[in-house]
Amino acid sequence: MSEIPKAYNSQEVEDKIYEKWRESGFFNPDNLNLPKDKKNDKENRFVISMPPPNATGVLHLGHASMLAYQDLMIRYNRMDEKNVLWLPGTDHASIATQTKVEKIIAEKGQTKYDLGRENFLERVNKYVENSKNTIRKQTKKMGSSCDWDRERYTLDDGLSRAVKEVFVKMYNDKLIYRGDRIVNWCPRCESTLADDEVEHKDQKANLYYFKYQKDFPITIATTRPETKLGDTAVAVNPKDERYQKYIGQVFEIELGNGLHKIKIIADREVGMEFGTGALGVTPAHSMTDWEMAEKNNIEKIKIINEDGKMNASAGAGYKGLTVLEAREKFVKYLKKNNLIEKIEEVDQSLSVCYRCDTPIEPLPSKQWFVAVDQKITIKGNQYFQNKSLKEVALEVVNKSDEKNKDKIEIIPERFSKTYHNWMENLHDWCISRQIWFGHRMPVYYCFDCNLEKIKNNNLFKDRDGDEGFVTQLGTEDGKFIPAYEHLLRELEDGGKKIIDDDLEYFVDINPKKCPKCKSEKLFQNPDTLDTWFSSGLWTFSTLLNQDHKKYKTFEEWVANSPDLQNFHPTSVMETGYDILFFWIARMILMTTYTLGEVPFENVYLHGMVRDKQGRKMSKSLGNGIDPIEMIEKYGTDALRLSMIIGSSPGNDLRLFEEKIEGYRNFVNKLWNVSRYIIMNQESRIKNYEIDYENLTLADKWILEHLENLKYIVNNALENYQFSFAIDGEYGIRDFMWDKFADWYLEVSKVQGKNDVVLIYVLENLLKLCHPFIPFVTEQIWQEMGKEKLLMVEKWLKSKNEGIKLTQVNIDFNLIQGIISEIRRIKNENGISQKEKIDVVINYEIRKDLTQKDFDTIENNRNIIEALAVVKNLKIERKKEKPEGWIQFDCRVSVYVNIEDSIDKEKEAERIKKEIQEIEKYIKQIRSKLGNDNFIANAPADIVEKEREKYMESEEKKRKLEEKLKSLL
RNA sequence: GGGCGCUUAGCUCAGUUGGCUAGAGCAUCUCGUUUACACCGAGAGGGUCGGGGGUUCGAAUCCCUCAGCGCCCACCA
């Protein structure tokens, strides 16, 4: 049977194995052959909703690690006869994807406006189709056993309907409203951003100290002088004595752009130590200032437009300038008028867009929000009984110090503190985006109902802020088109932004006519929804019956979605801690509201993959590792192991090529262990039973450790300590390599093979390894001639409550100890391992050595002879050491005849060192045992142990001294 | 400014209710072409567990403090 290759060739087998799995149909829970009671028991489900990768290109190591952890959980539970569903998909990732495509077309010198909405979206969809394919391929490469039959995409028809349904439902429940307030605006994306989509970057900035005009009594300080053109107040701390007398006064100032009324107000938020202790309030372009203005009823002047340029309110000389140009010009003005007192360099944290790094402009805008503090009662919803979204989201997640099975548990638990803290401080969530790619909001306007307003109020403004409305417009070929069509075209093709201040709107999923006047001239709000709005529905929108058109109402649809009934809530949400707020929190908000169910029962947060130095992997640093390249080089199993081992919940993981290489070796070792066993089998054993009456010590020893291994692996998996299963004490690596390969197999070569034990151990080992390294284990399984797939073999539960080591282990350790010591003596004295030497094992009855131990050694003398390479092995009682032989001790005394080759001085030195160490140790124990407090307070077994250790050490010291004397 | 995490052998990391002379893999050194595997085997060296203090019979482990690194949150302009 030499057809099994010497080295495991991952390239050769992986794709074929994956095909086999896929063809078996077992990725799909509908095809699992479960006992009826298990199949129909909803409690017996195990469901993971795969966090959908963004549809923006390729998978990176972060995805690879996520797939490794999830597939491991999925495979383990599938083998354990759970009704397992792992649902894959992709996220349209509106801003990220749109930005990417914009960059691509920019290379050809195009903008999205050149293409128009429809063409641009077509371009985006083509791009997405492409990346979805790539992602699919790469996900398969990772060995992911997910159910491709249920693959979803956030822009699928069904999922899109879910988005609209939830929007309308929330609107009707007054949880979605339109509000006019200051928002985070990204001038490059030309869109709003949610609070958590804003990132902060530390940088140096100039802090300008100046007065608005010569006779103004207060000097203010700012890093953004240009915004002062929109100031309407100065805020000081109410306790600040310097400014007490001005509070409440109103000044009139002139900044070269008309008269401003500046009111002096008091606000506790103002720091007296910063700058001059006086803050120029620009309500329209600062979050803080906006709130102060709201409290104090102060006028808000918008001077910066959505394109990041100054508008007419900033003054004629400023209109059209960029923010930076305006700053330069205004500072020049201040200098010229001698108003600047000083300029200081300060540290400042600049707000930037998380997608394109552009500095954020806070500005007032009419946008749509989710009200997180609005209390509501929903019939049939266990959570919403006069509670707000925020309150429910806080309630359903365990706090870090509590354990409640009915609540979501976040692992590691420290993140539940982070979650609670964030949720408590959550503001209303801005969900409208001026992005083209995404779910368009189901908000409609009737052209006819609003016609007068449209005409009279010039409500349509173009992007430059120029106003105007025409009922008919000439096109290039000279034809005229009606206003409605013109309006639609403007909306669809971009370039114009609707300012829908006074327009009447209505919210509907798919309206055909105006509910009021029955006109069919409707136009939809061009804004799309925050991408996290749809991601927030992911765990259930993916399980809704995709054949949705049959169902008129949402409730009917839900009721007719068997997957939703069977698989929701999902079991574990496994994702990176970086999207705890973006995604986890949103899913909890949206799902508890929509279904009255939590989206998942547990959250497992993994860390980020970093390079060897702990740096983030990035293109600019060039330190990224391509998972596909690693798979080609070392195999998927090796890559998976390198991400599983060394990772713990919530902690970052360092990954580098040597590590992957190391696990390739591990995989290959398992391959060769199996190869040896399969090749040396007399015949293929199919049905077998272990003959427990006729087992050698080594047989019993390996079987005992296999039982322990089952416990270790099960325990590790149940507690999400994946790394521990392989790399921990008594883990898979220790068992497979150190115990099974290096000892048991070697012993079996000497004592004769027990094929049944070999096969039994191998099969069990493969089952335990499969969730971690599915490809190689499945391939070996096939090489063994199995008909069934290992993937659906029954999982091994542990009988143990913990690690149990019996006399068997002690006995085998005795033999191992003797062998290792003889090998060491040879090695240290320059004797070849192959050279057979004379050995006498001297045995004496002591407390810890009985006749049984003597028998053990005697019964296994062939192992000692072979593995330690010994001739004339004598096992005797109370035999004096032959003159000139070397003695060492490992529970028993062993005399070795190597006088000719021994370096006596070197050996003496070594023994002296050893004696010193043991003396130090004896001193430690003696002081412990001499301490009355220790005797009195420590548990009896600990004291007893210390006493034993003391006796042993004294004995060991005595023997070492004896040995030293004999050497000199 | 608030919160969290990390610091154990040259490197990457274990060490889960405080109690085996603190462990593993890689790297290093020595030896080895034993018919499963050189992607291997046999052995060896290497750490006052970041510093200081405290609690305790006993601390890598618990508490305090200092230092360094990293992350998250926050409206100090």
User: Which residue's CA is nearest to the C1' of nucleotide B21?
Assistant: A921
Q: Which nucleotide is nearest to A655 (CA to C1')?
A: B12
Residues 6+ apart with CB under 8 A from A626: A60
State the pLDDT at residue A498: 54
* All residues at 6 or more sequence positions from A761 whose CB lies less than 8 Å from its CB, including other chains: A702, A703, A706, A740, A744
Residue A757 to residue A694: CA distance in whole angstroms: 11
Comparing A38 with A254, the larger pLDDT belongs to A38
pLDDT at A222: 93
Statement: residue A748 has pLDDT above 70: yes
Find the nucleotide nearest A830 (Cα to C1′): B31
CA A407 / C1′ B18 distance in Å: 32
Higher pLDDT: A909 or A161? It is: A161
pTM value is 0.93
Beta bridge partners of A832: none
The rounded radius of gyration (Å) of the Cα atoms in chain A is 37
- Asked whether the predicted pLDDT for residue A842 surpasses 90, the reply is no
- CA/C1' separation A834–B33 (Å): 13
Q: Is the pLDDT of residue A819 over 90?
A: yes
What was the pLDDT predicted at A467?
A: 45
Interatomic CA–C1' length for residue A862 and nucleotide B35, angstroms: 20
Token pair for residue A654? 């360092």
The residue ranking higher by pLDDT, A820 or A958, is A820
Distance A7 CA to B37 C1' (A): 8
Q: Please check the confidence at residue A366 and state whether its pLDDT lies above 70.
A: yes
Q: From the alpha carbon of A582, which nucleotide's C1' atom is closest?
A: B72
Of A618 and A394, more confident? A394
In 3D, which of A378, A390, A373, A370 has the Cα closest to residue A171? A370
Question: With contact defined as beta carbons under 8 Å apart, do A83 and A29 qualify?
Answer: yes
Q: Which nt has its C1' nearest the CA of A664? A: B39
Nucleotide nearest to A235 (CA to C1'): B77
E strand or H helix at A67: helix A61-79
A932 CA from B19 C1′ (Å): 17
The pLDDT score that the predictor gives to residue A851 is 87
* CA–C1' A414–B5 (A): 10
Q: How far is the CA of A389 from the C1' of B66 (A)?
A: 43
CA of A47 to C1' of B16 (A): 27
CB A896 within 8 A of CB A879: no
- Give the pLDDT band of residue A500 (cuts 50, 70, 90): low
Q: What is the pLDDT of residue A475?
A: 55
Q: Tell me, what's the pLDDT at A465?
A: 44
pLDDT in tens, A920-930: 888 888 888 88
Confidence of residue A937 (pLDDT cuts 50, 70, 90): confident
- For residue A556, pLDDT beyond 70: yes
Spatial distance between the Cα atoms of A355 and A532, rounded to a whole number of angstroms: 14
Report the nucleotide nearest the CA of residue A658, measured to C1'.
Answer: B26
Minimum-distance nucleotide, CA of A922 to C1': B21
pLDDT at A460 over 80: no
Question: Cα dist. A394→A30, A366, A378, A407 in Å?
Answer: 35, 29, 18, 10
Long-range own/partner contacts, residues A958-965 (CB < 8 A, 24 or more apart): A959/A887, A959/A889, A959/A893, A960/A889, A960/A911, A960/A914, A960/A915, A960/A918, A961/A915, A962/A887, A963/A886, A963/A887, A963/A888, A963/A911, A964/A908, A964/A911, A964/A912, A964/A915
Give the whole-angstrom CA distance, residue A583 versus residue A577.
10
Give the H or E element holding residue A353.
Answer: strand A340-353
Per-residue pLDDT at A482:
67
pLDDT-based confidence at residue A492 (cuts at 50, 70, 90): confident
Q: Are A334 and A326 in contact (CB under 8 A)?
A: no
Tell me the β-bridge partners of A304: A310
Q: What is the pLDDT of residue A900?
A: 67
pLDDT at A157: 97
Is the pLDDT reported for residue A462 higher than 50?
Answer: no
Q: How far is the CA of A662 from the C1' of B26 (A)?
A: 8
- In this structure, the number of other CB atoms found within 10 A of the CB of residue A70 comes to 26
Q: Which residue is nearest to nucleotide B27 (CA to C1')?
A: A658
**Residue A923 CA to B52 C1' — how many Å?**
27
What pLDDT sits at residue A564? Answer: 98
* pLDDT for res A345: 85
Are the beta carbons of A412 and A420 closer than 8 angstroms?
no
Q: Is the model's pLDDT at A496 over the cut of 60? A: no
Taking the CA of residue A133 and the C1' sugar atom of nucleotide B2, their distance in angstroms comes to 44
3-state secondary structure A286-326: CHHHHHHHHHHCCCCCCCECCCCEECHHHCCCCCCCEHHHH
pLDDT tens digit string along A296-306?
889 999 999 88
The pLDDT of A249-263, averaged and rounded, is 86
**In the predicted model, is pLDDT for residue A855 greater than 60?**
yes
Minimum-distance residue to B30 (CA–C1'):
A827
**Contact A216/A251 with Cβ under 8 angstroms?**
yes
Strand B nucleotides, any atom under 7 Å from protein beta carbons: they are 3-6, 11-16, 19-21, 24-26, 30-32, 34, 36-44, 56-58, 69-77
A360-383 burial: b if 16+ Cβ within 10 Å, else e? bbbbbbebbbbbbebebebeebeb
- Residue–nucleotide distance: A921 CA to B48 C1' (Å): 15
For position A647, what pLDDT does the model report? Answer: 87
Q: Which residue places its CA closest to the C1' of nucleotide B40?
A: A669
Q: Which residue is nearest to nucleotide B6 (CA to C1')?
A: A651
> CA-CA distance, A437 to A528, in Å (whole number)?
7
> Distance between terminal CA atoms of chain A?
57
B24 nearest neighbour residue (CA to C1')? A727
Higher-scoring residue by pLDDT: A909, A680: A680
A260-269, A399-408, A802-811: range with lowest mean pLDDT: A399-408
Of all nucleotides, the one whose C1′ comes closest to residue A936's CA is B57
A207: the nucleotide nearest its CA (via C1') is B77
Percentage of chain A lying above the pLDDT 90 cut: 63
Q: How many Å does it take to go from CA A628 to C1' B9? A: 33
Q: What is the spatial distance, in angstroms and rounded to an integer, between the CA atom of A224 and the C1' atom of B77?
A: 9
Nucleotide nearest to A674 (CA to C1'): B36
Q: How far apart are CA A547 and CA A567, in angstroms?
A: 18
How confident is the model over A424-450, as a mean pLDDT?
A: 92
Please report the pLDDT score of residue A858 as a whole number.
93
CA/C1' separation A826–B46 (Å): 22
pLDDT tens by residue, A571-590: 999 999 999 999 999 999 99
Convert the pLDDT of each residue in A351-362 to its tens digit: 999 888 899 999
Determine contact, residues A319/A328, Cβ cutoff 8 Å.
no
DSSP states of A481-545: EEHHHHHHHHHHH-SEEE--SS--EEE-SS-SS-TTT--S-EEE---EE-HHHHHTTHHHHTTS-
Q: Looking at residues A71-87, what average pLDDT do you find?
A: 97
Q: Which residue is nearest to nucleotide B36 (CA to C1')?
A: A676
Nucleotide nearest to A734 (CA to C1'): B24
Per-residue pLDDT band at A295 (split at 50, 70, 90): confident
d(CA A221, CA A219): 7
Chain-centroid distance of CA A148 in Å reads: 22
Nucleotide nearest to A669 (CA to C1'): B37
Does the pLDDT of residue A104 top 90, yes or no? yes
Average pLDDT in chain A: 89
Q: What is the mean pLDDT of residues A103-116?
A: 93
Distances, alpha carbon A314 to alpha carbons A42, A187, A290, A301, in Å: 63, 18, 18, 9
pLDDT at A470 over 70: no
Sorting pLDDT into bands at 50, 70 and 90, what band is A497? low
**A346, closest nucleotide (Cα–C1'):** B77
Q: If we measure between CA atoms, which residue out of A226, A404, A208 comes closest to residue A321? A: A226
Confidence of residue A330 (pLDDT cuts 50, 70, 90): very high
SS3 state at A835: coil
Closest residue by C-alpha to C1' distance, nucleotide B23: A729
Q: What is the pLDDT of residues A151-193, one digit of tens each?
A: 999 999 999 999 999 999 999 999 999 988 899 999 988 899 9
Coil, strand, or helix at residue A145?
A: coil
Task: Give the Cα-Cα-Cα angle A481, A484, A488 (nearest 5 degrees).
Answer: 100
| pLDDT of res. A474 | 52
C1' (B64) to CA (A391) span, angstroms: 36
Closest residue (CA) to C1' of nucleotide B73 is: A422
Distance of C1' in B58 from CA in A926, Å: 13
Protein CA A416 to sugar C1' B6 (Å) = 19
DSSP assigned state of A792: G
DSSP string covering A585-618, please?
IHHHHHHHHHHSS-SEEEEEEE--EE-TTSPBP-
CA–CA dist A562, A42 (Å, integer): 12
pLDDT digits (tens, 9 = 90+) for A892-903: 888 888 766 666
Residue A1 pLDDT = 43
The protein residue nearest nucleotide B70, judged by CA to C1', is A614
Higher pLDDT, residue A270 or A150: A150
Distance in angstroms: CA A33, C1' B6: 46
- The per-residue DSSP string of A198-238 comes to EEEEEEEEEEEEE-SSTT-S--EEES-GGGGGG--EEEE-T
Confidence of residue A625 (pLDDT cuts 50, 70, 90): very high
Please count the residues of chain A: 968
Determine which helix (DSSP H) or strand (DSSP E) holds A888, and give its type and residue range. Answer: strand A886-890
What pLDDT, on the 0 to 100 scale, is given for residue A683?
72
Specify the nucleotide whose C1' lies closest to residue A716 (CA).
B16
CB count within 10 Å of CB A680 equals 14
| Overall average pLDDT of the A229-251 stretch | 90
Q: What is the DSSP-derived secondary structure letter of residue A735?
A: I
Is the peptide bond prior to A569 cis by the omega test (within 30 degrees of 0)? yes
Closest nucleotide to A938 by C1' from CA: B57
**Of the given ranges (A212-216, A398-402, A418-422), which has the lowest mean pLDDT?**
A398-402
- Residue A466 is predicted with a pLDDT of 44
Q: Over range A944-960, report the average pLDDT.
A: 84
Instruction: Give the CA-to-C1' distance from A943 to B21 in angstroms.
Output: 16
Q: Check residue A577 and give its pLDDT.
A: 93
Q: What is the pLDDT of residue A463?
A: 40
CA distance linking residue A107 with residue A477, whole number of Å: 31
Nearest residue to nucleotide B72, by CA–C1' distance, is A418
Nucleotide B14: closest residue by CA–C1': A728
For residue A277, give the nucleotide whose C1' atom is nearest its CA.
Answer: B77
B44 nearest neighbour residue (CA to C1'): A828
Lowest mean pLDDT among A163-167, A498-502, A555-559, A754-758: A498-502
Q: How far apart are CA A602 and CA A841, in angstroms?
A: 58
